Amino acid sequence: AVGMMIPGLPFMGLGRNADIAWGGTNARALSSDVVNVAGNGEIEAERVTLRTRWWFDQELTRRRSPEGPILSDSRFIAGRAGEVLALRWVGHEPTDEITAFLEAMRASDVESFRQAFASYGVSAQNMLVADRHGRIAKVMAAQLPQRGPRPADDFVLQNRSAWNGFDSALTMGWVVDPASGFIASGNDRPDYIGRPAGYFFSPRDRVLRMATLVEERGTLGVEDLFAIQQDVVSEPAAVLAAGLVERADALHLLHPLLAELRLWDGAYAIEARGPVVFETILYHLTRELYANSRGEVSRELTSWANLQLFLLADLDAHTPQRRLEILQAALANAAGDAARYANWGEMHRIRVGHVLGNLPVIGGFFRIADLPSAGSRETLMKRSHNLERGRHRATFGAQSRHVSDLADVDANWFVLFGGQDGWLGSTNFADQVDLWKSGNYLQLPLSPAAVERAFPIVMRTTTSGG
């Protein structure tokens, strides 16, 4: 098999063998609960010593119930009067994630791939698979608790009645060979499993964008898949921008930024000016609409999902005169910010470096580059960020790409935003960044003959005794 491994874990989280190719996204499923175990006589206590290097050790009492460790003994998680709160987590159950992935790597078709995840518990993943016979599937790799009834206004469950068993990859619904001819996942709500999974999911921006591109292209080739992975168009952002222009027009409001916004197609390309205009307007508009008396804006109110759902409606809730005042103020404040940046790449940056680059004072020694970046919160080539009015760094996003053509065992392409080696100073630490920037990939064949041709250098490791 060829693929990508998470450092320290002995399996390929995404990749390809002779028969199948696979990948996945975090399902964001709810795998834990807080349980009130007050009155449970089975709570056990033990004295433990916390040893601290170059400082004093500390002794404390640690308590555990059959539901899990007691949280409310911590001063940071106080229960209400009479409550003793424990954490129940699927990860404390007898699950086996490593074996599940090892068996998935050996799978030969979509059914055996699904079967491989029977023992998988956490963290929940939407696993996608295609086999060389042309079949495709999406599987929920997880053990999800079967929860009893609970009050809508209280997240604390009451003792052992909280969980009544588990649903697994074999008992939950799955998607197999859909009529559309393709499957996609983007951390969105996994409705396909036929039961609730959790509360907090990404909007369906990326899934819907993939569907649009697939349907536009019809028959797909490898080059089409490369292009889809690098797509930076946000259709919801374009819709929101058009909605703002429409409301300004209705109020006969004129402003140079509106003229620029009118031309924007939602593409967060490095050289694009439209994202600068849109994001600076959005920043100031949300403050006009949602800021409290201290000028603070709630992150929950201004999440991208909520802005899509409520921003225009909240603006429309005001009188025409007040709407005009809000838009005028937002445009006036945004104009100065937007004038500082000729394009999105000047404003939106991505840092290349070691994790130690985040340290204060000395972090600069571990940073390699500060690059302009395309993409945004929920574009296919994701480069997440908050509401911004100035130059900023992407906080999260795409860091690996994989495309395989199952008609050819040697047609497998991969690239990392970084490199193969995490060792500081290694020549392979960030040697794939230029490939990533240029949209190129490394081909990793599977057949022995093709491997020998592609990789003529052989390295053999031996013990010191030979």
CB of 57 within 8 A of CB of 51?
A: yes
| Region for 195 from its dihedrals, namely left if φ exceeds 0, alpha if ψ lies in -120 to 50, beta otherwise | beta
What is the residue type of 10?
P
CB of 35 within 8 A of CB of 67?
A: yes
Q: Assign 3-class secondary structure to 135-164.
A: CEEEEEECCEEEECCCCCCCCEEEHHHHEE
Helices (H), 294-447: 304-316, 320-338, 344-347, 433-438
Q: How far apart are CA 248 and CA 358, in angstroms?
A: 42
What number is the average pLDDT over the span 151-161? 79
267 DSSP 8-state letter: B
What number is the average pLDDT over the span 170-181? 97
CB of 91 within 8 A of CB of 108?
A: no
Evaluate if residue 126 carries a pLDDT over 70: yes
Confidence of residue 162 (pLDDT cuts 50, 70, 90): confident
Confidence of residue 425 (pLDDT cuts 50, 70, 90): confident
Q: Which of 103-112, 152-161, 162-171 has the lowest mean pLDDT?
A: 152-161
Listing DSSP states for 70-125 in one string gives BSTTSTTSPPPTT--EEEEEGGGSS--HHHHHHHHHH--SHHHHHHHGGG--SS-E
Kindly give the pairing relationship between strand 125-131 and strand 136-141.
Answer: antiparallel
Q: How far apart are CA 397 and CA 391, in angstroms?
A: 17
The token duo for 458 is 């052989």
Evaluate if residue 466 carries a pLDDT over 70: no
Q: Which of 349, 352, 351, 350 is nearest to 429 (CA)?
A: 352
CB of 345 within 8 A of CB of 415?
A: no
Q: How far apart are CA 311 and CA 327, in angstroms?
A: 12
Q: What pLDDT, on the 0 to 100 scale, is given for residue 394?
A: 96
Q: How far apart are CA 114 and CA 138, in angstroms?
A: 9
By three-state DSSP, how is residue 4 classified? strand
- For the CA atoms of 199, 205, 206, 208, the dihedral, rounded to the nearest 10 degrees, stands at 110
Evaluate if residue 159 carries a pLDDT over 80: no
Q: What pLDDT, on the 0 to 100 scale, is given for residue 158?
A: 82
Residues 28-78: tens digit of each pLDDT: 999 999 999 998 878 999 999 999 999 999 999 999 999 999 999 998 988
Residue 321's contacts (CB-CB under 8 Å, 6 or more residues apart) are none
Evaluate if residue 160 carries a pLDDT over 70: no
Q: Which of 174-188, 256-270, 330-344, 420-434 has the lowest mean pLDDT?
A: 420-434
Mean of the per-residue pLDDT values for the chain? 95
Helices 235-250 and 304-316 pack at an angle, to 10 degrees, of 10
Distances (CA, A) of 13 to 116, 187, 428: 13, 16, 21
Residues 345-366: tens digit of each pLDDT: 999 999 999 989 999 999 999 9
Q: Which of 336, 327, 334, 339 is nearest to 254 (CA)?
A: 327
Domains of the chain and any CATH numbers: 1-201 (3.60.20.10), 203-222+231-398 (no CATH), 402-455 (no CATH)
Q: Which of 37, 180, 183, 9 is nearest to 105 (CA)?
A: 9
What number is the average pLDDT over the span 313-335? 98
Residues 197-251: tens digit of each pLDDT: 999 999 999 999 999 999 999 899 999 999 999 999 999 999 999 999 999 999 9
The token duo for 233 is 């168009």
The token duo for 166 is 């588990």
Give the gyration radius of the chain's Cα atoms. 26
Residues 259-308: tens digit of each pLDDT: 999 999 999 999 999 999 999 999 999 999 999 988 899 988 899 999 99
Residues 90-124: tens digit of each pLDDT: 999 999 999 999 999 999 999 999 999 999 999 99
